[in-house]
Amino acid sequence: MDDVEKAVDECIRLGGKPEIEEKILYGTHKLKIVHCDFGKFKIKFSPWFVSHANEIVLMSPDEFLSKVPKSPWSPDITEMKKRKIKELIDKGVSLEPIFLDIDRKTGKVLEHEGRHRMMVLKEMGVKKVPVFIFYK
């Protein structure tokens, strides 16, 4: 099974509907991206992310937000970021993958991406969101 097929399978396993986009890079190189549609939102299931993540789990926005530090941005900047994300979702644009890098020994979150996306999805009433987990 290649990485694109694995991304499609993972999207379906997590309850999404996969859409494959093919882009031409540098004239001849083809890049395939899997957009996973969960109804209220879409997330890119990059074949690289899917093949390198230790696991992909469904996590509530509250659970994700409890694991990561509070936003270092001022409330104005946070609201601006959230508005931009909501506009993208409303246009049907796929969100970038949400992930956690977790220390294998301590379980502590080392790095993350997706705090503002999760805030918006929580406000939209989304109950579960795919999160890519990488153990370091």
pLDDT tens digits along 17-38: 999 999 887 777 888 899 999 9
Please say whether the beta carbons of 61 and 126 come within 8 A: yes
To the nearest whole number, what is the mean pLDDT of the chain? Answer: 94
Print the domain residue range for 117: 3-135
DSSP 28: T
Q: Is pLDDT larger for residue 129 or for residue 47?
A: 129
Instruction: Give the side-chain half-sphere CA count within 13 A for 13.
Output: 13
With 0.95 as the threshold, say if the pTM is over it: no
Structural domain total, the chain: 1
pLDDT at 131: 98
Closest CA to 43 of 58, 28, 62: 58
Distance in angstroms (rounded) separating the CA atoms of residues 60 and 48: 23
